[in-house]
Amino acid sequence: MLSRTRADLYVCLCVMLGLSAVSLHAPAPQPAVTPVIVESDDVGAATQDTAEPAPAPAAAVQTGIASWYGFHWQGRRTASGTRFDTRLLTAAHRSLPLNTIVRVTNLLNGRSVEVTVNDRGPYVGHRVIDLSEAAAKRLDMVKKGLVPVRIETLPPPEQVAMLVKPS
């Protein structure tokens, strides 16, 4: 048991030291249509054409330390205006837009869960995300409290529906 704890501490330490300066790896947003002015041989005649839409940005990925919060916050208002419920699969993140759906993967055991960002935080240490108790249970991190995780931003459900909808 002691060697397992040392391994966990080593992984957490590596994540904190090597990955604490985390950035989102998504490209900067670009306008969907870029106007292009095309001049013709006629004096004063110009037409407007449009370029191809920019490709959809790749999913943003972030790594760092996750924590969880529970009964103390039960029923309090979140940043999104909803009431916090420990039984729901929700999370707090400092910068992701509210109502963003993310997949959080526990790097110690490979378990993952999809949660909705409905609050702001965490504001303690170098943590990147606070999970509800239900999400923490799915990741098997309740006893540990803090675990290294990978966070992947998922496309909104309406975008997924558009991608799979036959034309």
Residue 75 pLDDT class (50, 70, 90 cuts): confident
Per-domain residue ranges of the chain: 2-20+60-164
What does the alpha-carbon distance between residue 123 and residue 128 come to, in Å, rounded to a whole number?
Answer: 9
Q: In this predicted model, what pLDDT tens digit does every residue of 27-42 receive, in sequence order? A: 444 444 444 444 445 4
Assign 3-state DSSP to the chain and report helix, strand, coil percentages, each to 5: 20, 30, 50
Nearest to 9, CA basis, from 130, 108, 105: 108
The reply to whether the predicted model has a pTM over 0.75 is no
Hey, is 73 helix, strand or coil? helix
Q: State the Cα–Cα distance between residues 52 and 32, nearest whole angstrom.
A: 8
| Residues above pLDDT 90, as percent of the chain | 50
> Is-contact 59 101, C-beta < 8 A?
no
Q: Higher-confidence residue: 137 or 167?
A: 137
Predicted pLDDT of residue 60:
86
Domain 2-20+60-164 falls under CATH 2.40.40.10: yes
Residue 55 CA to residue 133 CA, distance in Å, equals 37
Output the six-digit token pair for 52: 């191809």
pLDDT tens-place string over residues 81-139: 999 999 999 999 999 999 999 999 999 999 999 999 999 999 888 999 999 999 999 99
